[in-house]
Amino acid sequence: MITVEEHRAAVLAQITPLPVRQLPLTEALGCRLVEDVVARVEVPPFDNSAMDGYAVLAADVADATESRPVRLRVVGDIPAGADALPRVGPGTAARIMTGAPIPPGADAVVPVERTDQPAGPADGKDAPEEVLIHAPAGSHVRRAGEDVTPGTQVLRGGRTVRPRDLATAASTGHGTLPVRPRVRLGVLTTGDELVAPGEPLGPGQIPESNNVLLLGLAEQLGATPVPLGILGDRPSELRDVLARRLGGVDALVTTGGVSAGAYDVVKEVLGPLGDVAFRAVAMQPGKPQGFGVLHDGERPVPIFCLPGNPVSVFVSFMVFVEPALRVMSGFARPDDADSLRPLLLDGVAATGWRSPPGRCQYIPVAFDGTDEEDDHLLRVRPSAERGSQSHLVASLAAAEALAIVDAEVESVAEGDAVTVMMVP
């Protein structure tokens, strides 16, 4: 058996980041930006009005009051998006909407509420011929480039693209961003005994639950899940899916068929290829693990062959697949241990439990408050009555984290320190 660390290192040594792509903004959401982004255009792109009202010369209306309004001739109407602009000279005004370009000659805007004109939708009404101004103009002019000028750095390379980063990119002239794309993660599960969720069970059959688990994890961890089906134990089915669908995925996860059974289809099909190695890893659950790299032309497609037991699938995914996904999408580097580490917290056992000798245990746990003396220590107890056995899928929803127990520990006693791994 090899250790968890040895297997993880062997996996990560064969994982390479996906090539950088220039992606349309909405596709870049959640991806890692690889370069600084600088503004291509001014923001705002032109002087424009901050208010619905009248563009005027400030000097014309400096003395205007409600009782002594200033009368101006209206020389035009400027909705947002207008291209032809009237010239505003002394004694004149142009009706203007928020965001519309300030017309030549004007240097200020009087909000419509400070005039004799009604506020609100124009209802097809043209601008009036004259307007009475009741107050001096505030500036209400938003100057070109007052937010950002071309060449200013607006996004720093290395960040995770958030919705507001998309708004910044769009407003500064970018339709695409240079990112590492989301990993398209193909998911296929195997087993003649599996029945789609919700369907009636025949003798010896069980509900399929690994597909939904893996597709959901992929989605939640920022990959693009690609369902490749629930396959039976016939080698031809698996060969066929691999031949047809490899082009559409960046990595693959399979479940089932990797231990010592007579019908272990994944091992039977992939083992002889030589590119996929099947090893026993000193962990529980998740002992039998397959990993290798298939090729779609020149393009490497890592494949993770996880054991079929559902709790093993969950644990194996978090321990081996999740760090690989982060490397592929540029969020972690294989040579930077800190970037790869899951979120680990210090915990203390709220009760005792057994751990298999010689295997590192990843046991689903629920929280039980914090330690009386040190409230940074999370108290944890197994979330399933029967502990860390790998078939206890129905109890998986009750888990809030995984507690990690070293391989040499055979039993955990109440009050023992444990490492708590946060999981989605």
Ligand X SMILES: Nc1nc2c(c(=O)[nH]1)N[C@H]1C(S)=C(S)[C@@H](COP(=O)(O)OP(=O)(O)OC[C@H]3O[C@@H](n4cnc5c(N)ncnc54)[C@H](O)[C@@H]3O)O[C@H]1N2
- Interface residues toward ligand X, by CB under 6 A: 189, 191, 193-194, 206, 208-210, 255-261, 264, 285, 287-288, 307-310, 312, 390-391
CA dist 377 → 124, 179, 343, 367, 414 (Å)? 67, 38, 14, 11, 13
Nearer to ligand X, 306 or 327 (CB): 306
Check if the beta carbon of residue 53 is closer than 8 Å to that of residue 109. Answer: yes
Question: CA-based diameter of the chain, in Å?
Answer: 98
> Of 382-401, which residues contact ligand MOO (CB under 6 A)?
390
Site string for ligand MOO, 20-39 (x = CB under 6 A): --------------------
Q: How far is the CB of 166 from ligand X (least distance, A)?
A: 37
Nearer to ligand MOO, 249 or 282 (CB): 282
**Is residue 254 within the footprint of ligand MOO (CB under 6 A)?**
no
Stretch that binds ligand MOO, among 148-156, 178-186, 239-247, 285-293 (CB under 6 A): 285-293
Which partner in ligand MOO, ligand X, none is near 337 (CB below 5 to 8 A by kind)? Answer: none
**Cα–Cα distance, 193 to 208 (Å, whole number):** 9
**Is residue 285 within the footprint of ligand MOO (CB under 6 A)?**
yes
**Is residue 287 within the footprint of ligand MOO (CB under 6 A)?**
yes
Q: Of these, 312, 355, 361, 383, which contacts ligand MOO (CB under 6 A)? A: 312
Q: What is the DSSP string of 388-424?
A: T-TT-GGGGGG--EEEEE-TT--EE-TT-EEEEEE--
Which partner in ligand MOO, ligand X, none is near 53 (CB below 5 to 8 A by kind)? Answer: none
**Cα–Cα distance, 216 to 110 (Å, whole number):** 54
Nearer to ligand MOO, 327 or 421 (CB): 421
Which partner in ligand X, ligand MOO, none is near 92 (CB below 5 to 8 A by kind)? Answer: none
How would you label 272-307 residue by residue, b for 16+ Cβ within 10 Å and e otherwise?
A: eeebbebeebbbbbbbbbbbbebeeeeebbbbbbbb
Q: Of these, 172, 189, 211, 309, which contacts ligand MOO (CB under 6 A)? A: 309
CB atoms within 10 A of CB 126: 9
Check if the beta carbon of residue 68 is closer than 8 Å to that of residue 86. Answer: no
Which partner in ligand X, ligand MOO, none is near 115 (CB below 5 to 8 A by kind)? Answer: none
Binders of ligand MOO: how many residues, by CB under 6 A?
Answer: 8
Q: By beta-carbon distance, which residue lies closest to ligand X?
A: 308
Sheet holding 108-111, edge to edge: 108-111, 53-56, 92-96, 70-78, 130-133
**Cα–Cα distance, 421 to 5 (Å, whole number):** 15
Residues that bind ligand MOO (CB under 6 A): 284-287, 307, 309, 312, 390
